[in-house]
Amino acid sequence: MSRVRQPLVVDGRVVTFWELVAEEELFAGVVALAELLRRLHWLEEPESLGLPYLEPLAATWGRIDAAVALGDEDRGFLRQRAEELRKRYDALEFVLPFGLVHGDANVGNALVDDAGRAVLIDLDGFALGPREWDLVLTAMYYERYGWHSRAEYEAFVNAYGFDVMNWYGYPVLADMRELMMTVWLTQNMAGNAAVTVEVERRMSDLRTGADRHGWKPF
């Protein structure tokens, strides 16, 4: 693909070409993800990219409004929670250097290519922001949901060199991410009973502060 001049403009639309990572989908694992993030976070911003600043809840407001299967009470609750978390986020003091972030860093976005190398995919959230944002999903997948084991999380921390759970702002970022995850899922409720049940479970847990270990990955 490097030999193809891009982007192209076709009928007024910008077109880019992407190369298939591998014929078989193989996830790289938490250690490879940590190493990729560590390398990414050491990079300096290429000014020519004109990257945006990270706005974690930017898409969330529109998704709340667009979720036709939500009732008014649930919609109001989500809006209020998003506003409260925005204020808490704005008050945080981050400890890692500000710079390049993937934006949605989790094991589902680290694949192994045909040469056996781990690569990051899903770069639509690539931005400038606090590096802690890229570490929170792996932490909460372990701590809140049990989707990673303790050994897996410790291996991730050792490979990256920083444990975001030891930072006071971790609960704020984790609360934001689980709100975003829930709101994203509301888009798929119509005609899908399993998704509707999961959203209802998550909404109840968000309201009551109940244990999240019953949440299912979607």
CA distance linking residue 148 with residue 27, whole number of Å: 14
| Single-letter code of the amino acid located at 75 | R
- Encoding tokens for residue 218? 């979607």
For the chain, helix (H) and strand (E) counts, in that order, are: 7, 6
pLDDT of residue 202: 96
pLDDT of residue 2: 57
Residue linked to tokens 């990219």: 49
- Residue 137: closest CA among 56, 66, 210, 51: 56
Which residues make beta-bridge pairs with 130?
98
pLDDT of residue 6: 84
CA distance linking residue 35 with residue 28, whole number of Å: 11
pLDDT of residue 25: 85
Give the domains, in start order, of the chain with CATH numbers.
Answer: 8-208 (3.90.1200.10)
b/e code 162-186 from CB counts within 10 Å (16+ = b): bebbebebbebbbbbbbbbbbbebb
pLDDT of residue 47: 82
Q: Are 107 and 28 in contact (CB under 8 A)?
A: yes
pLDDT of residue 3: 72
b/e code 36-67 from CB counts within 10 Å (16+ = b): bbeebbeeeeeeeeebeebebbeebeebbeeb
Cα 144 to Cα 29, 72, 171: the distances in Å are 19, 28, 10
pLDDT of residue 194: 94
Q: Encode the chain (218 residues) as per-residue pLDDT tens digits.
A: 557 788 899 999 999 888 888 888 889 999 999 999 999 999 998 888 889 999 999 999 999 999 888 899 999 999 999 999 999 999 999 999 999 999 999 999 999 999 999 999 999 999 999 999 999 999 999 999 999 999 999 999 999 999 999 999 999 999 999 999 999 999 999 889 999 999 999 999 999 999 999 999 98
